[in-house]
Copies of this chain bind each other. A is one copy, B any other.
Amino acid sequence: MATTALLVLDLVGTFAFALNGALTALRATRLDIVGVVTLGMITALGGGTIRDVFLDSLPPATFLDWRYLAVAAGGGLIAFFSGRHLERLNGPINVLDAAGLSLFAVTGALKAVDLGFGPAQAVIVGVLTGVGGGTIRDVLIRQVPSVLSSGLYAVPALVGATVVVVADVLGARGAVAAIGAAAVCFAIRMVGVHFDVNAPFPPGSRPPEDP
């Protein structure tokens, strides 16, 4: 039953990432239907694929499960056909995307722990699971990945993954720790979106005036 809940949450996160990823790509460059759906799927499934390369857990889990493939393709198709109308739904989509980031960071880190990797490795893999798909998408549409240059995106994933890994080291394993860690990640991400917070820039560099 907990497994079913986790699966549903994971599929919701996958859908949110695909929708948001395809909309971001649509806004940034000119793409046909192949491009929009592909970039939605890459945003949704790319992080998990990188995770499974690093954990030597190939073939990638989401590649083997048709539900992930179908949900990701569906998100991309919806973005393709109704991209203009979805622009108004920016708020809800940001919330879904933050939920996806939180779930992917936590479940990615937990998968590493389950497979016997150390704490540092688990945290790194959690972050890569959360931010990897969007990074590949940004490279393909010729943008400097936003995770490297603006906003709080990697930081909440880092905190969320660290919380769940530290909890595991301290013996607190299970749904409560996972949900708590995801909630922390989600909260930091939403605060960052709302107040437009950035990670620190190098000493002496100018403040981020130009978007």
Contacts and interface: CB of A to CB of B under 8 A. Distances in A.
Residue among A58, A59, A142, A208 facing the most chain B CB atoms (10 A cut-off): A59
A145 interface: yes
Given A140-B145, A144-B140, A202 B58 contact: no
Residue among A35, A54, A198 facing the most chain B CB atoms (10 A cut-off): A35
Residue among A56, A154, A199, A202 facing the most chain B CB atoms (10 A cut-off): A202
22 contacts: A30-B201, A31-B148, A31-B201, A32-B201, A33-B199, A34-B147, A34-B148, A38-B148, A39-B148, A53-B58, A54-B58, A54-B59, A54-B63, A58-B58, A64-B117, A64-B118, A69-B120, A69-B124, A81-B202, A84-B204, A140-B144, A140-B148
Interface of A: 26, 29-36, 38-39, 53-56, 58-60, 63-64, 66, 69, 80-81, 83-84, 117-118, 120-121, 124, 135, 139-145, 147-150, 154-155, 198-205, 208
